Amino acid sequence: MSASQIYVIGAAGQVGSAMMATSDGRAVIPLTSADIDITDLTSTRSALANLSAGDVVINTAAHTAVDAAESDRAAAYAVNADGPANLAAVTSTSGARLVHLSTDYVFAHPVLGDDGAPRPFEPDDVDGVPETVYGASKLAGERAAQAADPATVVVRTAWVFTGGRQDADFVATMCRLEAERPQIRVVDDQTGSPTYAPDLARALWDLVDQLNEPALRGGAVVHATNAGSATWWDVARAVFDNLGAQQERVQPCTTAEFPRPAPRPSYSVLSAKSWVGAGLAPLRDWRAALGEAMTARSGDGNSLG
């Protein structure tokens, strides 16, 4: 699909910034919270007043404070549920397409494979109410967007990192702690899909280019993460290894030892079958992506490379 204009909502955020850095000459209009309030339909319509058929809106904006959402349900639902609904209301009347970024937190519990062990989630494995306000609000946003505009494409991702010196994601935090502490303890009973923001951004651009293909033309839910799976302990040890530090300095612990207001999924690996099935190129292994992030960090600090 050759879009006339592409609007990136949340352009100052982690994924939005990566989208802008990898846009490769596309006609992109970045919109931050200073330009659009997606929780307000009037503001949304005003900011997208020039939207027309052939345009694409990519929503990377979200209320991602998982723990804070537990005590401020209204704020989470305003951004994560009302926001996508408002964007979809505008795209549905203009003939533009909406690509909405969602999360692994929408799943309520692991799905067991034939061997009795958890298997990677497929898009239609959503069953029940997510344990967290964040997850429930994101699932509500998916459904509201596709109800308002059935052509909406929902892209679920997970464990997004950039690792830059100015970032606060898990990889960046591990880099900081390696320099500050002789030893750290990291949870080893949560398994997910680490995803490098620039890789996700490039994958989203690939999707935008193919929105008119049969698998995506009428709307879809797909999963996009770097390949492979890991626990947070695995990721932390890989960070230390990339830094030339002893991996033994990273000690495993359990989730129960570090309770949080919002429960974390014990298993939230996302399957790539839906992504590949839509004719899109699979993302590389997370370890290779982490290596690039660490190289960028050790260079000029620009981890979007």
> To 10 degrees, what angle do helices 83-94 and 133-148 make?
10
Residues 76 and 137: their CA atoms lie apart, in Å, by 6
Residues 152 and 137: their CA atoms lie apart, in Å, by 17
Residue 98 is which amino acid? L
Residue 134 designated active-site: yes
Structure tokens at 31: 């919109």
Alpha helices in the chain (DSSP H): 14-21, 41-47, 66-71, 73-77, 83-94, 133-148, 170-180, 197-209, 214-217, 232-242, 273-277, 286-298
Residue 126 to residues 108, 183, 235, Cα–Cα distance (Å): 7, 38, 26
Cα–Cα nearest to 151, from 105, 81, 203, 87 = 87
Strands 191-192 and 230-231: antiparallel
Could you give the 3-state DSSP secondary structure of residue 107? coil
Residues 295 and 305: their CA atoms lie apart, in Å, by 9
**Choice among 7, 77, 105, 134 that is catalytic:** 134
Burial pattern 164-182, b for ≥16 Cβ within 10 A else e, equals beebebbbbbbbebbeeee
Residue 115 near residue 56 (C-beta atoms within 8 A): no
Give the active site residues: 134
